[in-house]
Amino acid sequence: MGKNEREENGVDPENHNQDEGEKKKQLKEEELSVERIFENQEVPSWRKQLTVRAFVVSFALSILFSIIVMKLNLTTGIIPSLNVSAGLLGFFFVKTWTKLLHKSGLLRQPFTRQENTVIQTCVVASSGIAFSGGFGSYLFAMSERIAKQSTDTLDFKKLSLGWIIGFLFIASFLGLFSVVPLRKIMIIDFRLTYPSGTATAHLINSFHTPQGAKLAKKQVRELGKFFTFSFLWGFFQWFYTAGDNCGFASFPSLGLKAFDNKFFFDFSATYVGVGMICPYIVNISVLLGGIISWGLMWPLIEDRKGDWYPADLSPGSFSGIQGYRVFIAIAMILGDGLYNFLKVLSRTLLGLFHQLRYKDLSSEIPVADHSSDVSSQSQLSYDDKRRTQLFLKDQIPIMFAVGGYVAIAAISMATLPHIFHQLKWYYILVIYTFAPALAFCNAYGCGLTDWSLASTYGKLAIFIIGAWAGAAHGGVLAGLAACGVMMNIVSTASDLMQDFKTGYLTLASPRSMFVSQIIGTAMGCVISPCVFWLFYKAFDDLGQPESQYPAPYAVVYRNMVLLGVKGFSSLPKNCLILCYVFFGAAILINLIKDLVGKKWGRFIPLPMAMAIPFYIGSYFAIDMCLGSLILFVWEKINKAKADALAPAVASGLICGDGIWTLPASILALAGVKPPICMKFLSRGNNAKVDAFLGS
């Protein structure tokens, strides 16, 4: 049929083509639509999303992940994202639960992706306290154990489970109330990405499709297999650790000289798993930092013993080699933190300027209680319309958020000075005055870059409050306590906004997300201190440089506050010059990385990661690079399988080794010691071996 024939039969060719195009577009949209898969499933009310079974499972997983995060905190301080593991295990446990109930005819409510999101939110909020609670940084830095390693041995606070739990309950909830009124701005109006929250949502959505459920079963099977292997491997290693520096963890796999300079493979399943999760550049950066410091710098500086510092000092003295290790690492961390703080802050301000300039927000400020603009909704996809409609359905009143913030702030100002008498009420008032703005900046920056700068804001509080209080008025403890208050506020604020993004993409109610975050935070305020207390009582050498758990950031944070309070007078010779050099180098490396673009910038190392082994050595970097190598080879052999199963394998290695820490700690508390000490000594350290080898 020709053109004229189509026109005579009442068919306009232009309209016909346009209609065909619209139909194809609509069909394509339906194929790509996530919500059309679930459109026949009723979305439960926010109260029905908060089930008893969800919180029972969350509590069990919170204990598991708190132990894992605590172990990572007290060893290296490198903590990978555990969102995938939390979502996967939450799905597995509740799915198994509901399947058993279904077979017995007792199932009343099916397991939904909204309930899965509630579990994941609760677990991440709870285990997050193990990081933001400062057990490997500012809080442990207050203790006498860490104080004895610094130049100031007087300003410390005796650790007690009671005041630690009380402090966390006071400090951990304020950040949740500070950003609640801004959720519509962040998620709907500004459409911020929040990559981790988005990835978690896609994962949860996929679990609840037929194909995704099959993949989830495979992932759980792999996770269980490597969990069992990792747990049994930890148990096997325990038998050979009857004394100091015994067992596989002290095996000089690269030779005795390399072992003395912290280069060895310590057979840690945890850090092999961490290496499989962390990007390649992070693992390479850690190894490079170890080579520069322990391979080159420290041997050269030790050759200057007697010139740069007294030759008779103990290895742990901060007036000697230990001072160079710690303060140069601090310089790199501060340089990297300052650069990224200014970069994210500038991107935040530019993004806000762009949003405010090109979108008319003056007539209607888009806070949580306002509905979306109808004309803009008409241009949205089916998924966006449905998600926006449900996201705005359950409101969290602004007055509730403001009232909660003011009430918690008032309680904090009244109670915190009783826990830390050095932290005056007016210091807290200043922090809480600026905290909402800083929480917003961190949440917005996290939405753009997926990078939370909570520890950087904490360091800012260390220097400001520490210097304000001064050495004579307890500036050390005041600075560390202020760091804790600030870190908890900005960390929980960005975490909540990540959860709101996950909830938006899985149709979970903002109210259920907020309640889940509150309950998870409350769980964490009890679970994390108890887990830390188990470590603290079980391992007498916790926090010592040569310990199994050196807690490197505790020493770093304490010396940061000493710098803020006392200045640079206590540094050894030429240490300040080297600190300036590495501070500038950290900024320069980041600047070059950004200028060359993503194509080449991905090959430039990260100064923050390079700084970690400067203090504790690079033994864990060997483990992490082995994890990277395993993943690299696996991807070359079968990339699809590696992408699907590698996170589960890595999680199994981390979880199994992490859980073994619990019975190991209990055995240590009970006085049960391993039967064998497997030790490798040099000829100079063992006269019997020397005589045997010489005969």
Question: How is residue 187 written in tokens?
Answer: 């998620």
pLDDT bin (cut points 50, 70, 90) of residue 11 is very low
Over residues 1-14, mean pLDDT = 44
How is residue 241 annotated by DSSP? B
Q: What percent of the chain has pLDDT over 90?
A: 29
Residue 605 in contact with residue 284, Cβ under 8 Å?
Answer: yes
Output the CA torsion sign for 471, 477, 481, 484.
positive
pLDDT bin (cut points 50, 70, 90) of residue 358 is low
Closest CA to 162 of 365, 418, 407, 485: 418
pLDDT bin (cut points 50, 70, 90) of residue 86 is confident
Over residues 323-344, mean pLDDT = 82
Question: pLDDT: is 5 or 62 the higher one?
Answer: 62
Model pLDDT, residue 685 = 53
- How many whole angstroms separate alpha carbon 522 and alpha carbon 172? 9
Chain mean pLDDT for the chain: 82
Does 484 score more than 90 pLDDT? yes
Model pLDDT, residue 516 = 96
pLDDT bin (cut points 50, 70, 90) of residue 58 is very high
Over residues 35-58, mean pLDDT = 90
Does 523 score more than 80 pLDDT? yes
Domain that holds residue 490: 44-354+394-694
pLDDT bin (cut points 50, 70, 90) of residue 10 is very low
Model pLDDT, residue 414 = 94
Would residue 488 count as lying in a domain?
yes
- Domains identified in the chain, total number: 1
Would residue 28 count as lying in a domain?
no
Would residue 23 count as lying in a domain?
no
pLDDT bin (cut points 50, 70, 90) of residue 118 is very high
Across 298-302, 407-411, 412-416, least confident range? 298-302
Q: What are the pLDDT digits (tens) for 376-388?
A: 444 468 888 899 9
Closest CA to 657 of 68, 160, 174: 68
Q: How far is CA 355 from CA 29, 185, 305, 334, in A?
A: 27, 10, 58, 31
Over residues 582-606, mean pLDDT = 89
pLDDT bin (cut points 50, 70, 90) of residue 368 is very low
Model pLDDT, residue 28 = 47
Does 369 score more than 70 pLDDT? no
Would residue 223 count as lying in a domain?
yes
Would residue 235 count as lying in a domain?
yes
CA 487-543-82 angle, 5° bins = 50
Segment of 18-22, 155-159, 190-194, 368-372 carrying the highest mean pLDDT: 155-159
Model pLDDT, residue 27 = 44
Indicate the pTM of the whole model. 0.76
Helix (H) or strand (E) holding 657: helix 639-669
- How many whole angstroms separate alpha carbon 76 and alpha carbon 329? 13
Would residue 300 count as lying in a domain?
yes
SS3 543: coil
Model pLDDT, residue 607 = 87
Does 244 score more than 50 pLDDT? yes
Would residue 22 count as lying in a domain?
no
Model pLDDT, residue 365 = 35
Question: How is residue 592 written in tokens?
Answer: 């070059």
Q: To the nearest 5 percent, what fractions of the chain are helix, strand and coil?
A: 70, 0, 25
Does 593 score more than 60 pLDDT? yes
Would residue 439 count as lying in a domain?
yes
Over residues 348-358, mean pLDDT = 72
Q: How far is CA 549 from CA 38, 293, 645, in A?
A: 47, 20, 30
